[in-house]
Amino acid sequence: MKRVLFLKALACSLLTLSLAAHAQEKGYWRAASQTARSITGDVSLADEKISINFYIVTMSKIRALEPGEVSAVFDADTSTNPTGSLYRLNIPASKTFQKHNTLCGAEAVQWMVTYAKANALQIAFFSGAKPPVFTLEAISGSTDLCGTYTYVR
């Protein structure tokens, strides 16, 4: 009887933690890095939308990322089990943001990766029709990585 109660409590705790990790990305974020301040400005994430400097884009969550994949993109410490998400979206190359900057030069943004920890959010944007490969070698040699941005609450 005690074992069943313990297992139910453990399952509820794990579910709550997984939902909190996803919910942690949602909300309003202030541009913190120089790159974010000069290109995107502040962002806001909802279930199926991202707002970049008041420009709203529909997005679809493709999957959660493994700690090693998050670490390959954002140099996160894998011992802390970082969690991130891969999203599909479409931001045209012609769309300009702060100071007439684009996110990816002459390429459309097709993919977004997020990594939230405490009061910080990092976002990486990628071009290309195929999903990015999340290994250190692939990311370091990628021509599809448009840039990474840092935000705070």
pLDDT confidence bin for 35, thresholds 50/70/90: very high
CA nearest to 69, candidates 60, 78, 61: 78
d(CA 36, CA 52): 10
pLDDT tens string 56-87: 999 999 999 999 999 999 988 888 899 999 99
Collapse the DSSP code of 19 into the 3-class scheme (helix H, G, I; strand E, B; otherwise coil) and give the result.
Answer: helix
pLDDT confidence bin for 13, thresholds 50/70/90: very low
Residue 18 in contact with residue 85, Cβ under 8 Å?
no
Residue 96 in contact with residue 106, Cβ under 8 Å?
no
Which H or E run contains 116? Answer: strand 109-117
| pLDDT at residue 9, as a whole number | 43
Range of the domain at 75: 2-152
Question: Tokens at residue 30, please?
Answer: 């202030």
**Structural domains in the chain (count):** 1
pLDDT score of 5 more than 60:
no
pLDDT tens string 87-145: 999 999 999 999 999 999 999 999 999 999 989 999 999 999 999 999 999 999 999 99
Mean pLDDT on 38-56: 96
Could you tell me which residues come within 8 angstroms of residue 88 by beta carbon, excluding any fewer than 6 positions away?
A: 59, 60, 62, 110, 111
Q: Around 115, how many Cα atoms within 13 Å sit in the side-chain half-sphere?
A: 24
